Structure 1
Amino acid sequence: MKRCECRMRRVIICICFMFLLQNALGVQALTIEKANVPQQLHEMSLEEKIGQMLMIDFNQTVGSGQIGVNDSIIRVIDQIQPGGIIFFKENIQSMEQTKRFTMELQHRNRGIPFLIGVDQEGGEIVNRLPFLTEMPGNMALGASSDLGLTKRVASVLGQELDSLGFNMNFAPVVDMNSNPLNPIVGVRSFGENPYLVAKMSAAFMEGLHEAGIFAVAKHFPGHGDVTVDSHKGLPTVSKSIEQLKKNELIPYRFLIDNGIQSIMTAHIAFPAIEKSIYPASLSHAITTNLLRQSLGFNGVVITDALNMQAVASTFTAADAAISAVNAGADILLMPTEALTVKRALINAVKTEVISEERIDLSVLRILKLKAQLFKEHNTIDVIRSKEHLKVEKEAAEKGITIIKRDETLPIQKNERVAFIDDGSNHQSNKLLTEMLVNAGITVTTEEEAERLIYILHHKKDALLNNNLQKEKKPIIVISTTTPYHYEQWEFVQGFISTFSQSRASIQAVSDYLIGELLATGCLPVSIYDSTGKVIVMSEQECK
């Protein structure tokens, strides 16, 4: 009872604080009228229009660890006049601090609201706000094949982001993870089937949109079949346009038909389409000819972060920005040397390297997008509310997928089990131990146990793997990340994928182990052995 009273008191204090802060800051336009967009564009200077096309981060422009508006941030905003700001974990400490930061920023928006965005895809890989309701991520949702659940998950994320002052989420990931060696997508993908990815992505988009958050589908035209991390170098995909149309482009066409308003272009070379080996983000053939003309997208195109090595290692900040705009991009995300980039773009227009009409097209799209922003926001008491935690629990449970079934389960209360220690001291081991003990299971040493449990976080421990192949006791492996790990663990009696290390996912797998949960997840990707032979076929969509 005391705990509930404390939480209620904290919520009331937070609400009062935000009300007082809004009044202290004064009334500032957080929306613009759609009917006024053409007139507003006409009244803007070239410098203001180009500022609208820049989405900056404070880590680069001011310095790491910015958690509130200060003189340095005010100076950067006044100089660059950006149209948007992206937050990272370094900018986020608590709900109250984050809400205060976004509100203080909007107070300085000069009458045109900022797009304030963040990467909050769900799952652990890209999770900037750890205090939000913890969803298991896209591959767990793909395993569920549940469109309604996916929409509810995105709606929960959207409501909580909205309550903190965000209006854009760089999600969903629309990439089909067709390459098991992909170092950057993996469980961030809904799966390898383009039709499943299309429908799940559209459901996710709808959930965000209904919560007042702009969805950004990424990474066009597809980041799922690469072996190079574009943060570190330029990946190349040697697929023809016809191959892309039969696979990677299917989800994008479906999203465009269903109202996606923003798409992020990838830093990947597609030499069959762009002969100059430019990344898609800087390619007119891909951004304009393919995305806009062939697929008919007329929304806002956002580049992937321009400080990534796929671009930054080859192009100067100014050249990358000019190329991206001429390619057809509307918003340049995280350009290095943002003030230099702004000046270079102004000069490019004055010297007719870029036409002002081209700038106007982008700014018109941006202003039309901003004209849709909600005037009212959720209060922060929606975060981890009882209703949201129910969705978290359902998503975790429906994502549990059995790759190899151990017919001797469930674990009996008189059975002794032990956790295999790989030296990682990972929190998941502690959580599952606690949950099984609370369920009446005896957790003991490996020597005394009748059954062994190994929670797999990474693939790299070859020595442990070799030793366990000699083990005579039955082994259950629980993979909390990629299901492709199974390729090295075929010898075990049972292999379970959660696709997530969240507390809710660990609780769900605990419930499965003791027979209190029926695992219904369907594997959304195929698993291959070292020769490329399929050893477990994707179940695609199933109920």
Structure 2
Amino acid sequence: MPRLNRVHLLAAAAMTAAVAVGSSTLGPVRSGVDEEPADVPVANQSDGDEMQAWIDDTIAGMSLEEKVGQIFVTYAYGPSADSAHPDNVTEFGVETPAEVVQRYHLGGVIYFNWTDSFEDPVQVAGLSNGLQEAALSSGAEIPLMISTDQEQGIVTRFREPATQLPGSMALGAGRNRDDARTAAAITGQELRAVGINQDFAPVADVNVNPANPVIGVRSFSSDPALVSELVTAQVEGYQDSAVRELTVSSAIKHFPGHGDTNQDSHDAMPEIDHTREEWEELDAPPFAAAIAAGADTVMTGHILMPELDDSGLPATLSPTVLTGLLRDQLGFEGVISTDSLQMQGVRNEVADERIPVLALQAGADQLLMPQYLDVAVDAVLAAVESGELTESRIEESVRRVLAMKWQRGVISDPLVDVDRVAEFVGNADHLAAAQQITDHTTIAMRNDAGLLPADAPASALVTGPDTTALAALADSLSQRGVQVRQHLTSASPTAAEIDEAVGAAAEHDMTIALTNAAWNESRAGQRELVRSLAGSDASLIAVATRDPYDAAYVEEATTWLATHSIGAQAMESLTRVVLGEIAPVGTLPVTVPAPDDPDTASYPFGHGLTWSVTG
């Protein structure tokens, strides 16, 4: 897919900024979860003095190895702190997660599904407590930052029964500051209930490239003003609460901005050709807004921006970017975390033993997931020994990490009450709020034939490439008495699959075809499926369940909706819109360009149909 013209985007951003920020839904924050938000902890001088005294005393008693350990964050395999796992032996030389923490004096641990960190909420809470006890019983006896990537939407580690909420672009479609804040507050409370105290979210990237393979719907919008407003709301939701122990540190990402690339930094080094002026107008505002809101952490991106730094170093390793722009220009005083140091975007350019040293020289404080932890730790120790890094430079980062732990209440209250996990995780209030928020995010892009809203049909065919979405949509329709047939296709349906779907559609009163990134050439078969259904006698409703760009590729379909999600809440909201139980109120947070002419908008920013409903 071609990239939108940047001049057009900057002009559009300037014109829409006042509309986006001035919208009545982007007004004063009302959480609905925490009605009396407090200032960020350590808001008075006496608290600050107490924190600084503790930090000074703690650092004075730490060995160099313990100081270096505080700046590293990695994963460990196993559902409990004492679970022996062969991959721990292979990667870290010890058997259990607790031993990984103790051997390397880690400052933090990050949870993933593939490390068996998430089985159920009570298990996660037990794992967190076990790791904290391991940290508190060894070395400098400092509790851990325990983190994960719970952006919601397509990047969700903590799954059901945890509350599932709309991802960023869905919230951008809703354009509701209260909803964005509440979503973050719920997410943060549920994470903290199981011992996770740092969330690598929200995404502050402005997604101006429809072909972006790694950001896309993880971004709130292509408009920097809208991204700034919603990022700020989420930082507040994660971090501001009358009860500090119900908050988590937010980490805005991926500085200096990953929104205008057609490469994935997990696999390669993306290069973004924004000028300094374009960066300041397009990429920088959300980061500046989040910093002003008090974000604890900024995560770096493994990207090249030659107009910002012509050294050839990725942003993660660039003093010009991290110190010159982030620290000096934007005034960020918190913790700078690298993105995963296992990503090829940084490893393709620099040897593993050099990456942590260069990242520290650039200004990073948390070094996330080096490919070989022992090599990385030894490299930093050797750099201090040789004088390439000073111990005082290490201490600068340790001070920031310790301050974050203090401010987030990790030092005072590192353990969680396992018996109270169910009070927070997936509770009835959270689930109801999640559905209400999701109801604000569905976009009606086309309704040329006036098909919507529709009466409940006797029967419906639901087809598409995602088992989760089909099952959830079928369940929602079935609850309303509709006889539903599910027709699962491959990511790019074959001619045989398409023929089968067209035949099945003829036997049903309504057909709902779900697409997922059909704009991608590797999934072009989805377009043919929708096109064939539109050319049949089927009463067709096409739904873009990920990027809204799909709608521009099949003009033959005259009814298009967008949900930005395949989750159960999104499918319930879709059903409510289709059957006239609620009106669609979402509007496009991005411009949808014509497939063959990126300067022409098939659907402009802010587009969204609505209609009145009764009952």
TM above 0.5, yes or no, is yes
Output the CA distance in 2 between the equivalents of 1:236 and 1:355.
32
TM-superposed CA distance for 1:174, in Å, is: 0.7
Q: TM-score, normalised by structure 2?
A: 0.78
Q: Is structure 2 residue 432 aligned with structure 1 residue 390?
A: yes
Q: Is structure 2 residue 92 aligned with structure 1 residue 75?
A: no
> Contact 1:262–1:299 at 8 Å: present in 2 too?
yes
Output the CA distance in 2 between the equivalents of 1:254 and 1:435.
39
TM-superposed CA distance for 1:443, in Å, is: 4.6
Q: Which letter maps to 2:452?
A: L
Question: Which residue in the other structure is 1:260 paired with?
Answer: 295
Question: Which residue in the other structure is 1:216 paired with?
Answer: 251
Q: TM-score, normalised by structure 1?
A: 0.88
Inter-CA distance 138–540: structure 2 relative to 1 (3 Å threshold): farther
Instruction: Give the CA RMSD over aligned residues.
Output: 2.4
Question: Which residue in the other structure is 1:360 paired with?
Answer: 395
Output the CA distance in 2 between the equivalents of 1:392 and 1:480.
18
Q: Which letter maps to 1:281?
A: T
> Contact 2:302–2:315 at 8 Å: present in 1 too?
yes
Output the CA distance in 2 between the equivalents of 1:380 and 1:326.
41
Output the CA distance in 1 between the equivalents of 2:255 and 2:507.
53
Question: Which residue in the other structure is 1:9 paired with?
Answer: none
TM-superposed CA distance for 1:38, in Å, is: 1.5
Question: Which residue in the other structure is 2:408 paired with?
Answer: 373
Secondary structure of 1:181's counterpart equals coil
TM-superposed CA distance for 1:498, in Å, is: 1.0
TM-superposed CA distance for 1:34, in Å, is: 4.7
Question: Which residue in the other structure is 1:85 paired with?
Answer: 109
Q: Is structure 2 residue 306 aligned with structure 1 residue 277?
A: no
Q: Is structure 2 residue 449 aligned with structure 1 residue 402?
A: no
> Contact 1:474–1:493 at 8 Å: present in 2 too?
no
Aligned with residue 183 of structure 2, among 153, 159, 173:
153
Identity %: 29
TM-superposed CA distance for 1:355, in Å, is: 1.7
Secondary structure of 2:570's counterpart equals helix
Output the CA distance in 1 between the equivalents of 2:608 and 2:203.
18
Question: Which residue in the other structure is 1:439 paired with?
Answer: 480
TM-superposed CA distance for 1:62, in Å, is: 6.9
Question: Which residue in the other structure is 2:583 paired with?
Answer: 518
TM-superposed CA distance for 1:353, in Å, is: 0.7
Secondary structure of 2:512's counterpart equals strand
Inter-CA distance 472–155: structure 2 relative to 1 (3 Å threshold): same
Q: Is structure 2 residue 542 aligned with structure 1 residue 477?
A: yes
> Contact 2:444–2:608 at 8 Å: present in 1 too?
no
TM-superposed CA distance for 1:449, in Å, is: 3.2
Secondary structure of 2:146's counterpart equals strand
The answer for unaligned runs of 5 or more in structure 1 is 1-31
Inter-CA distance 251–131: structure 2 relative to 1 (3 Å threshold): same
Aligned with residue 453 of structure 1, among 505, 509, 512:
512
Q: Is structure 2 residue 159 aligned with structure 1 residue 129?
A: yes
Question: Which residue in the other structure is 1:318 paired with?
Answer: 353
Q: Is structure 2 residue 300 aligned with structure 1 residue 300?
A: no
Deviations along 1:6-35, one digit per CA (max 9) or x if unpaired, are xxxxxxxxxxxxxxxxxxxxxxxxxx9553
Question: Which residue in the other structure is 1:498 paired with?
Answer: 563
TM-superposed CA distance for 1:65, in Å, is: 8.7
TM-superposed CA distance for 1:74, in Å, is: 3.7
Q: Which letter maps to 1:452?
A: T
Question: Which residue in the other structure is 1:8 paired with?
Answer: none
Moved more, 461-470 or 109-118: 461-470
Deviations along 1:161-204, one digit per CA (max 9) or x if unpaired, are 01100110000011111100000111111111111111101111
Inter-CA distance 103–336: structure 2 relative to 1 (3 Å threshold): same
Q: Is structure 2 residue 573 aligned with structure 1 residue 528?
A: no
Aligned with residue 236 of structure 2, among 199, 206, 217:
206
Deviations along 1:401-448, one digit per CA (max 9) or x if unpaired, are 1111252222224x45532545x4723223323322332445574123
Output the CA distance in 1 between the equivalents of 2:466 and 2:295.
42
> Contact 2:463–2:514 at 8 Å: present in 1 too?
no
Inter-CA distance 128–229: structure 2 relative to 1 (3 Å threshold): farther
Q: Is structure 2 residue 194 aligned with structure 1 residue 164?
A: yes
Moved more, 39-48 or 449-458: 449-458
Q: Which letter maps to 2:451?
A: T
TM-superposed CA distance for 1:253, in Å, is: 0.9
Question: Which residue in the other structure is 2:5 paired with?
Answer: none
Question: Which residue in the other structure is 1:100 paired with?
Answer: 126
TM-superposed CA distance for 1:356, in Å, is: 1.8
> Contact 2:180–2:230 at 8 Å: present in 1 too?
yes
The answer for unaligned runs of 5 or more in structure 2 is 1-49, 79-83, 486-503, 611-615
Aligned residues: 507
Q: Which letter maps to 1:410?
A: P
